[in-house]
Amino acid sequence: AQTVTQSQPEMSVQEAETVTLSCTYDTSESDYYLFWYKQPPSRQMILVIRQEAYKQQNATENRFSVNFQKAAKSFSLKISDSQLGDAAMYFCAYRSVMSGTYKYIFGTGTRLKVLA
Amino acid sequence: DGGITQSPKYLFRKEGQNVTLSCEQNLNHDAMYWYRQDPGQGLRLIYYSQIVNDFQKGDIAEGYSVSREKKESFPLTVTSAQKNPTAFYLCASSLIQGRNSPLHFGNGTRLTVT
């Protein structure tokens, strides 16, 4: 079974600085998708960025980018020019596409604090 | 606007009572999911359904039941057999055909059982 691990329960970053959140996963599949979700205090889950495993190019969405290392099974999220509104819980998620079962598996999350 | 509606936002029940959480979507998504969120444990999958009249257990299905009689609806019943039902519950949906389809979430229901 696939697992997702986020080893940093909490991170802090100074406003305007850069921070990287870690995510590793375990799978025997070669084709899958990875996602980062943000959960602000409102508890609404917001998609931040997604990555297809068959694409070598790292995904980028404005100030958010990923470092996808398929061999290492690592999928870290980099937030550049951090803003106060980035403060939230961040969840890494894995979606299988090969088994015909479209489950999304989440890590335990990283709480990001942004310091003014 | 299309989206997922969970109701109610807050729900209070006495121990020993069954309670049903509502989830409706108008995104025409094939798959629907229920997750439970507890502090420090992330989102854990309770049940999911990829087609009407069919559903599968997730990692923590014990004490829960679901139905999928319509594509738009996926209610979750928390039974009295669930030993620790107080939690935040999130419903989500996704396309199946879209290979990189992300999950779309409702706003959640906070269930408190005393």
For chain A (length 116 residues), average pLDDT per consecutive 10? 93 98 94 94 95 90 96 97 97 84 90 97
Tell me the CA distances in angstroms from B9 to A46, B21, B25, one per residue in order.
18, 10, 16
- A109: which chain B residues are within 8 Å (Cβ-Cβ)? 42
Dihedral over Cα of A42, B43, B106, B10: its sign: negative
How does residue B101 score in pLDDT terms, banded at 50, 70 and 90? confident
Identify whether the C-beta of residue B87 lies closer than 8 Å to the C-beta of residue B111: yes
The CA distance from B11 to B110, in Å, is 6
Assess whether pLDDT exceeds 90 at residue B97.
no
Of A6, A102, A108, the CB nearest to B31: A102
Tokens of B91: 């419903």
Q: Which of B100, B104, B109, B111 to mutate to test the interface with A (most CBs of A within 10 A)?
A: B100
Tell me the CA distances in angstroms from B74 to A44, B2, B22, B52, one per residue in order.
19, 16, 7, 9
How does residue B98 score in pLDDT terms, banded at 50, 70 and 90? low
Q: Which of these ranges, A12-21, A68-77, B91-100, B101-110, has the smallest mean pLDDT?
A: B91-100
Question: Average pLDDT of chain B?
Answer: 92
- pLDDT > 90: what percent of chain B? 82
Q: Which of B37, B45, B46 to mutate to test the interface with A (most CBs of A within 10 A)?
A: B37
Can you list the positions of beta strands (E) in chain B?
A: 4-7, 10-13, 19-25, 31-37, 43-51, 54-57, 64-66, 76-78, 87-94, 104-105, 109-113
Query: Taking CA atoms, what residue in B is nearest to A107?
Result: B42
What confidence score (pLDDT) does residue A99 get? 66
Of A35, A102, A108, the CB nearest to B42: A108
pLDDT tens figures, B29-78: 999 999 999 987 889 999 999 999 999 999 999 999 999 999 999 999 99
What confidence score (pLDDT) does residue B50 get? 92
Inform me whether the C-beta atom of residue A36 falls under 8 Å from chain B C-beta atoms: no
What confidence score (pLDDT) does residue B99 get? 63
Chain A, 75 to 94: residues with Cβ < 8 Å from chain B are 91, 93
Q: Which residues contact A31 (CB under 8 A, 6 or more apart)?
A: A53, A54, A97, A98
Inform me whether the C-beta atom of residue A9 falls under 8 Å from chain B C-beta atoms: yes
Cβ–Cβ below 8 Å for B103 and A107 = no
Distance, C-alpha B65 to centroid of its chain: 10
